[in-house]
Structure 1
Amino acid sequence: MADSEGEYVEAMSDDELEDSAAQAVDGTRGTTRTRDGRPKAKGDPRKAKNGGRGKAAWEDIQRSWEDKPYDLDGGAAGDTWEAEKRRRMQRDTTPIQRGIIRHLMLVLDMSFAMTEKDLLPNRYRLTIRYAIDFVREYYEQNPISQLGIVGMRDGIAVRISDMSGNPAEHIEKLREWLDQQEPQGSPSLQNALEMCRGALFHAPSHGTREVLIIYGALLSSDPGDIRDTITSLIADRIRVSIIGLSAQVAICAELCSRTNNDADAGDYYWVALHEQHFRELFLAATNPPATGVAEQKNASLLMMGFPSRTLAPGNTVSLCACHNRPTREGFHCTRCRAKVCRLPAECPVCGLTLILSTHLARSYHHLFPLKNWVEVPWTMAHRSVACYACQSHFPPVPSTASAGAGKSKQQQQQPPQPSVARGVSESSRYACTVCGNHFCFDCDVFSHEIVHNCPGCQSDTKGRAMTPPPPPPPEEMEVDRS
């Protein structure tokens, strides 16, 4: 058997093979030579790392595909944000009516199917980790909403955390289940849906009732007919969305289609392809759903209170009405003066919804999303040298792209007109269609995903804000005189 410690020999001719054999013979006589015939130095640094043993050539192989990994879209892994940019450009930013006060039940599959390792380290641990990220993002995007978590295992539904508006409690419960429990048994969709239906039954009519299921099995151990449960969900106006981890299941597609007004099941039932796709589908559920036509007609005003944080007189300790815990500070209900420890919350005495003004402002961007920014061609790139937001320098404009420099100053200052977004700009510049300022790619993603506002439009103090309004029509002027 050949020595595995020997050096790799490439495909050579017969003469080259004879030379290499002669070099090997010289090596047995005490003279170690390299491939080109020169004597090898005695102090070989490769031997020091291997306990005096010469390092094999196959241990130094450098693979080109490991230096720059690629993703499923055909681009480099460093271009993940570029791929996100292309996907985001295809989203519809038309303002529509949405239910910003949500009541969502998150159902996690904890059956034997979650022990599979097609999603590393396994489905169960990855799902719990993504669920923690989902809880944080859910309350970040929906600060005046409620959330509850349910698990499916051993043919029954178990309650992980009750519906509340505190993300810390949900994250603590999820970590306890991750450390103390292991997936086992069979899932039961019917039992989980009945538990979610009981938790959402008392949800107010002004909010949405939703169920998001992470389903990893291909079966459901139900005690009765699940179609009767689907009929009850439709009567209670509960919407169900499912993210599958194995394959499509017929009853899941029927469940999503019927509970969402007989819509296309593909809009509410997805199957994850890999870890990144699973995370994207999971976090996409943080956006509130569109309100139906029947719900828009029945829209009504909602009474809310906006209390301020107050300290107890004399720095004394008193019990809060929501948890009966001793605290020194809290929020007093504007109607009955009951004390709650955190917001948003519902007053346990009079039932008034208590929030902060910032909570309402953070939910506003769902109703009026920020418009997509358009790519700036090289002919318009000479208008900017650095990003308007972060002041990072743009690539210099090539000399061949100076064709647009001959335009008048008025034409150059006009905002670019919306066009078909291709995704990635050739000049690394993206322009707002309202203020016309140029931004880099990082600021584009940050403004659309985190801030939800344009820095140029928010800081424009001498443009549209200082422009006097147009004069009224003659008809209105006559009315004013009279």
Structure 2
Amino acid sequence: MDDDAEKTYTWETEYERTWEAIQEDEQGSLQAAIDEIGQKNRRKRMRERKSNIRLGMMRHLFLIVDLSKAMEEKDLRPSRLVCTTKLVENFIYEYFDQNPISQIGIIVTRNSRAEKLTDLGGNPKHHISALQDSLKCQGEPSLQNSLELAYQSLKHMPNHASREILVLMASLTTCDPGNIMVTCQTLSARSMQCSIIGLAAEVYLCKKVCKETKGQYHVVIDEGHYKDVLMQHVTPPPALADAEASLIRMGFPHHKEDAMASYSMSQTGTDQAELSTKGYLCPQCKAKYQELPVECRLCRLTLVSAPHLARSYHHLFPLPVFAEKQIDQPSCCAACEQSLERLTMVYECPDCSQMFCMSCDTYIHETLHTCPTCLNLTNQ
């Protein structure tokens, strides 16, 4: 390793008294300082987000969860398993909220094997329920078996869609039947991206896998950092340069209620069906489904609603970062109307020049994805 790389180690740099930067407020609370640090980190990620790039809007993601004995460690509160379960639940709901025309599947690895809990699908409740019913930690994980299992499902997905694998790895070891680098070359050849989030320490093999497949590798510091790096995968990744650009056939079914009950197609890839009077009829083959979006199991037509496409719009044209500034006189937030004292840090919209507090700036960029005052002016 060269000298430049060695100089980047934390223990070789000057000791920093980071706790001195956190100040109590008038009530003796540290929450304001913590919120400010979190806001600065979020704004840094927003500034680093690249614009004018082509994104993979239709995503097929397999989430691989390590359920080995290492997941029972308690360095994350209250344990790695409980912390991971809660964050995965939030991640799945946020994933479908931000990527309504995408799909996700779950694979768990334990006892040196890989098990597919759910196939690729768009029902978040089904994925969360399947994961909660399988929270038993045993033996060692197998990263290669998990990647091979994910590959077998993703290789059938169309090339114009983004095919991703996200691994939550608690163990420092993996029990594989063969050379995992051969599996990495297979994934790379099919333009499948593998990212890994480590819960313990940096592992060279994991870092190598991510580098070979053009994925991201993170090692979490604490629960807050775990949530941040996991939520980074909610945003669609940049599309590959050699990805196909093709038209996608979609159907927009209407919700229909009949007097007599009929069978609805299963959206989970099983043969189970249920009787119901309500549902969405595929405009091409008339198959009925209870929820959207879904790929019709008979004619393979992608069934979505207009709001699903509209909610994907903000990824293509992200809201610009609001400018930070200090006000010279008391004012109020343009959204929540909270009073803003003199010399308070506020955030100004570059289009309408309205000022917002820190909480509203976070809500606008992470949830609304549009400036409310700009939208109001447009409607008028």
CA distance in 2, matches of 1:147, 1:74: 40
Pairwise CA distance, 1:336? 2.2
How many residue pairs end up in the alignment?
A: 349
- Give, in whole Å, the separation in 1 of the partners of 2:21 and 2:183: 40
Letter matched to residue 123 of structure 1: R
Residue 121 of structure 1 is matched in structure 2 by 78
- Partners of 1:198 and 1:434 lie apart in 2 by 48
Q: Deviations over 1:177-225 (max 9, x none)?
A: 23xx2x1111111101110101212112221110000111111111111
Q: Which residue of 1 aligns with 2:319?
A: 370
Q: Which of 286, 292, 299 is 2:234 aligned to?
A: 286
Among 100, 120, 131, the alignment partner of 2:88 is 131
Instruction: Classify the secondary structure of the residue corresponding to 1:317.
Output: strand
Distance across 1 between alignment mates of 2:71 and 2:123: 27
Counterparts of 1:4-403 in structure 2, within 5 Å, are 74=22, 76-90=30-44, 91=46, 92-93=48-49, 94-178=51-135, 181=136, 183-260=137-214, 268-295=216-243, 298-312=244-258, 315-322=259-266, 323-379=272-328, 381=329, 385-395=331-341, 397=342
CA distance in 1, matches of 2:197, 2:22: 25
Asked if structure 2 preserves the Cα contact closer than 8 Å seen for 1:73 and 1:83, the reply is: no
Write the distance in 2 (CA, Å) between the matches of 1:427 and 1:115. 44
CA RMSD of aligned residues (A): 2.0
- 1:461 Cα deviation (Å)? 4.6
Deviations 1:204-248 (A, max 9, x none): 222111000011111111111111111111122110000001111
Counterpart of 1:443? 360
Contact 1:161 1:170 in 2 (8 A): yes
What amino acid is the match of 1:304? M
Residue of structure 1 equivalent to 2:26:
none
Q: CA separation in 2, counterparts of 1:212 and 1:71?
A: 34
- Paired with 2:345 and 2:163, the residues of 1 have a C-alpha distance of 42
Shift of residue 150, structure 1, vs aligned partner: 0.7
Tell me, in whole angstroms, the C-alpha distance in 2 between the residues paired with 1:73 and 1:353: 52
SS, match of residue 342 in structure 1: coil
**How far 1:348 sits from its partner (Å)?**
1.5
What do residues 23-66 of structure 1 show as CA deviations (whole Å, max 9, x unaligned)? xxxxxxxxxxxxxxxxxxxxxxxxxxxxxxxxxxxxxxxxxxxx
Deviations 1:317-375, CA, capped at 9 Å, x for gaps: 01113352111111111222221111000112211111011111111111111111112
What fraction of aligned residue pairs are identical, expressed as a percent? 38
Counterpart contact for 2:334–2:356, Cα < 8 Å = yes
Taking structure 2 as the reference length, what is the TM-score of the superposition? 0.87
For residue 431 of structure 1, the aligned residue among 326, 348, 354 is 348
Higher Cα radius of gyration: 1
2:119 match: secondary structure? strand
Letter in 2 for 1:359: H
Q: Which runs of 5+ in 2 are unaligned?
A: 1-17, 24-29, 267-271
More strand by share: 2
Letter of the 1:140 counterpart: D
Q: Cα–Cα, structure 1 residues 347 and 72, in superposed 2: closer, same or farther, change >3 Å?
A: farther
After superposition, give the CA deviation of every residue in 1:430-465 in whole Å (9 maximum; x if it has no partner). 210011111222211110010000011101159xx8
Letter in 1 for 2:222: H
Residue 133 of structure 2 aligns to a residue whose secondary structure is helix
Which structure carries more relative contact order (alpha carbon 8 Å, separation 6+)? Answer: 2
Counterpart residue type for residue 111 of structure 2 = D
Q: Is contact 1:95–1:369 with CA below 8 Å preserved after alignment?
A: no
Aligned to 1:475: none
Farther-moved stretch of structure 1 (121-130 vs 326-335): 121-130
Contact 1:103 / 1:200 at 8 angstroms: preserved in 2? yes
Change (3 A) 1:125 1:427: closer
Where 1:136 maps in the other structure, the secondary structure is helix
Q: Give the 3-state SS of the residue equivalent to 2:182 in structure 1.
A: helix
TM norm structure 1 = 0.69
**SS of residue matched to 2:245:** coil
Q: 1:246 to 1:391 in 2, by over 3 A?
A: same
In structure 1, what is the Cα distance between the partners aligned to 2:32 and 2:338? 19
Q: Retained in 1: the 8 A contact 2:327–2:345?
A: no
C-alpha displacement of 1:120: 2.0
2:374 corresponds to 1:457: yes
Conserved 8 A contact 2:188-2:213: yes
SS in 2 for 1:212: strand
Q: 1:153 to 1:105 in 2, by over 3 A?
A: same
- Could you tell me how far apart the structure 1 residues matched to 2:84 and 2:20 are? 21
Whole-angstrom CA distance in 2 between matches of 1:269 and 1:123? 18
Question: Given the superposition, is the C-alpha separation of residues 82 and 228 from structure 1 closer, same or farther in structure 2, using an over 3 Å criterion?
Answer: same
Letter in 1 for 2:163: R
